[in-house]
Chains A and B, each alone.
Chain A
Amino acid sequence: MARDKFNTVQSSAVPLPIENVDTDQIIPARFLKATTRDGFGENLFRDWRFTNSNEPKTDFILNDNTYKGSILVCGKNFGSGSSREHAAWAIYDYGFKVVVSSFFADIFKNNALNNGLLPVQVSEAFLSELFELIASDPKTVIEVNLGKQEISILSSGKSEKFDISSYKKECMINGYDDIDYLLNIKDQIETFEKSSI
Chain B
Amino acid sequence: MAGKTLFDKIWDAHVVNEIPDGPSVLFIDKHLVHEVTSPQAFAGIDARGIKVFRPERTVATPDHNIPTVDQHLSIKDELSRFQVNKLTENCEKHGVTLYGLNHPFQGIVHVIGPELGITQPGMTMVCGDSHTSTHGAFGSVAFGIGTSEVEMVLATQCILQPKPKRMRINVEGELGKGVSAKDIILYIIAKISASGGTGYFIEFAGSAIRNLSMEGRMTVCNMSIESGARGGLIAPDDITFEYIKGREFAPEGDDFDKAVKKWKELYTEDDAVFDKEINYDAADIAPMITYGTNPGMGAKISEHIPAESEVEPGNLASYKKSLKYMGFEAGSAIAGNPVDYIFVGSCTNGRIEDLREVANFVKGRKKADSVTAWIVPGSKQVEKQANEEGITQILEEAGFKLRQPGCSACLAMNDDKIPAGKLAVATSNRNFEGRQGPGARTMLASPLTAAAAAITGVITDPSTLIN
Do B27 and A189 have beta carbons less than 8 Å apart? yes
Do B80 and A83 have beta carbons less than 8 Å apart? no
Nearest opposing residue in chain B for A111, CB measure:
B146
Do B160 and A181 have beta carbons less than 8 Å apart? yes
Interface string of B143-175 (1 = CB under 8 A from A): 011111101100111101110100000000000
Cα of A179 to Cα of B138 in the assembled complex, Å: 29
Whether A37 is near chain B, meaning CB under 8 Å from some CB there, is: yes
| Residues of chain B with a CB closer than 8 A to A179's CB | 44, 48, 148, 151-152, 155-156
Interface string of B405-449 (1 = CB under 8 A from A): 000000111000000100000000010111100110000000000
- Determine which of B20, B21, B230 lies in contact with A106 in the assembled complex, contact meaning CB atoms within 8 Å: B230
Do A20 and B158 have beta carbons less than 8 Å apart? no
| Residues of chain B with a CB closer than 8 A to A183's CB | 48, 50, 155-156
Do A25 and B432 have beta carbons less than 8 Å apart? yes
Do B152 and A182 have beta carbons less than 8 Å apart? yes
Interface window among B193-201, B331-339, B361-369 = B193-201
| Residues of chain A with a CB closer than 8 A to B466's CB | none
Do A33 and B83 have beta carbons less than 8 Å apart? yes
Whether A115 is near chain B, meaning CB under 8 Å from some CB there, is: yes
* Main SS class of interface, B: loop
Do B198 and A84 have beta carbons less than 8 Å apart? no
Whether A186 is near chain B, meaning CB under 8 Å from some CB there, is: yes
Query: How far, in Å, is A84 (CB) from chain B's closest CB?
Result: 7
Whether A2 is near chain B, meaning CB under 8 Å from some CB there, is: no
Interface string of A1-42 (1 = CB under 8 A from B): 100000000000000011110101100111011111100000
Interface string of A75-115 (1 = CB under 8 A from B): 11100111111101000000000000001011100110011
Query: How far, in Å, is B418 (CB) from chain A's closest CB?
Result: 13
| Residues of chain A with a CB closer than 8 A to B161's CB | 110
Do B317 and A19 have beta carbons less than 8 Å apart? yes
> A185 and B16 in contact (CB under 8 A), knowing A30-B413, A32-B36?
yes
Q: Tell me which residues from 1 to 43 in chain B have a Cβ below 8 Å from any Cβ of chain A.
A: 13-14, 16-17, 19-23, 25, 27, 29, 36-37, 39-40, 43
Q: Tell me which residues from 141 to 162 in chain A have a Cβ below 8 Å from any Cβ of chain B.
A: none
Do A83 and B294 have beta carbons less than 8 Å apart? no
Do A114 and B156 have beta carbons less than 8 Å apart? no
Do A182 and B129 have beta carbons less than 8 Å apart? no
Do A80 and B318 have beta carbons less than 8 Å apart? no
Cα of A166 to Cα of B25 in the assembled complex, Å: 15
Whether A136 is near chain B, meaning CB under 8 Å from some CB there, is: no
Do B317 and A17 have beta carbons less than 8 Å apart? yes
Q: List 29 A-B contacts (CB under 8 A).
A: A17-B317, A25-B434, A28-B434, A29-B64, A29-B411, A29-B412, A33-B65, A33-B413, A34-B39, A35-B86, A37-B147, A82-B129, A83-B144, A103-B198, A105-B198, A106-B228, A107-B130, A114-B146, A115-B148, A165-B21, A167-B19, A181-B160, A182-B156, A182-B160, A183-B156, A189-B156, A192-B27, A196-B27, A197-B29
- Mark B residues whose CB is within 8 Å of A: 13-14, 16-17, 19-23, 25, 27, 29, 36-37, 39-40, 43-44, 47-48, 50, 53, 64-65, 77, 79-80, 82-83, 86, 128-130, 144-149, 151-152, 155-158, 160-162, 164, 194-195, 198-199, 226, 228, 230, 294, 314-315, 317-318, 321, 411-413, 420, 430, 432-435, 438-439
Kindly list 16 other residue pairs between chains A and B, CB separation below 8 angstroms, not including A85-B148, A182-B158, A197-B29: A24-B430, A25-B432, A30-B413, A33-B77, A35-B83, A37-B147, A85-B37, A86-B147, A106-B228, A110-B161, A167-B22, A179-B148, A185-B16, A186-B156, A188-B17, A189-B27
